[in-house]
């Protein structure tokens, strides 16, 4: 029984950072983020001619694909202002990879969320709420440490962090594009650097909630 309790505690501590980080990513996969980003003073204009309205239109289409159940033929109906396809074959292949990654992440997110709730209910029924909340608190502080480390890398070498991220989650060089490709024109490096920072902000807020609230509740059930 003691071994099971230790394993459960470790699983919760591991699950909380994953849950918080994916929650932060889900918040950003929203049409409001591109609107905010494109209207940020100093955001780089598209040197190949996309207006702000073009960027808002095509970014919203791209986000909708990531969240809907359509296959890659979804993009066949959309054309650029010059009549060419919205994305070339290489970009379409990457969009498929991104959608697969996001769908798997959101599935894990749901499973972890349900698992944490069920674990909380089981802890309540077995009078083990103190170790449950203590584990949530530890998971929150662990997440905070991870996010601070990520933000340090964002400041020191975002290009290296961005490259390593893609090498881990995508195969080969399928994520590399020309500056004239639509994906780069819509989502330049500044877009992703800011996204990492905002992800960190949202994650820090959640980490503090888990850390502080979990500690308070653990003391209450001591």
Residue with tokens 């109906």: 77
Determine contact, residues 78/58, Cβ cutoff 8 Å. yes
Q: Give pLDDT, residue 106.
A: 97
Cα(168)–Cα(100) distance, rounded to whole angstroms? 14
Q: Give pLDDT, residue 3.
A: 74
Close Cβ partners of 149 (under 8 Å, ≥ 6 residues apart)? none
Q: Return the closest-CA partner of residue 56 out of 39, 35, 76.
A: 35
**Residue 85, SS3 per DSSP:** strand
pLDDT tens, per residue, the chain with 222 residues: 577 778 889 999 999 999 999 999 999 999 999 999 999 999 999 999 999 999 999 999 999 999 999 999 999 999 999 999 999 999 999 999 999 999 999 999 999 999 999 999 999 998 889 999 999 999 999 999 999 999 999 999 999 999 999 888 888 788 889 999 999 999 999 999 999 999 999 999 999 999 999 999 999 987
Q: What is the number of helices (H) and of strands (E) in the chain?
A: 7, 0
Number of other CB atoms surrounding residue 208 within 10 Å: 14
Q: Give pLDDT, residue 1.
A: 57
Q: Which two tokens stand for residue 63?
A: 């986000």
pTM for the full model? 0.93
């Amino acid at each position: 029984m003691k071994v099971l309790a230790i394993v459960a505690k470790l699983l919760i501590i591991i699950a909380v950072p994953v849950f918080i980080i994916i929650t932060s990513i889900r918040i950003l996969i929203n049409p409001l983020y591109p609107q905010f980003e494109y209207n940020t003073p100093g955001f780089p204009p598209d040197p190949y001619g996309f207006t702000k309205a073009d960027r808002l239109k095509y970014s919203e289409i791209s986000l909708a694909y990531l969240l809907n159940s359509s296959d890659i033929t979804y993009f066949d109906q959309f054309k650029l202002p010059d009549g060419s396809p919205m994305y070339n074959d290489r970009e379409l292949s990457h969009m498929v990879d991104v959608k697969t990654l996001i769908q798997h992440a959101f599935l894990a997110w749901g499973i972890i969320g349900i698992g944490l709730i069920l674990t909380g209910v089981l802890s309540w029924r077995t009078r083990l709420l103190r170790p449950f909340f203590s584990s949530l608190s530890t998971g929150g502080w662990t997440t905070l440490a991870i996010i601070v480390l990520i933000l340090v890398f964002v400041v020191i070498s975002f290009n290296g962090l961005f490259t390593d991220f893609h090498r881990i989650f995508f195969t080969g060089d399928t994520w590399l594009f020309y500056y004239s490709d639509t994906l780069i024109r819509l989502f330049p490096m500044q877009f992703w650097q800011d996204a990492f920072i905002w992800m960190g902000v949202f994650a820090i807020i959640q980490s503090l909630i888990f850390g502080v609230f979990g500690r308070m509740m653990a003391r209450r059930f001591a």
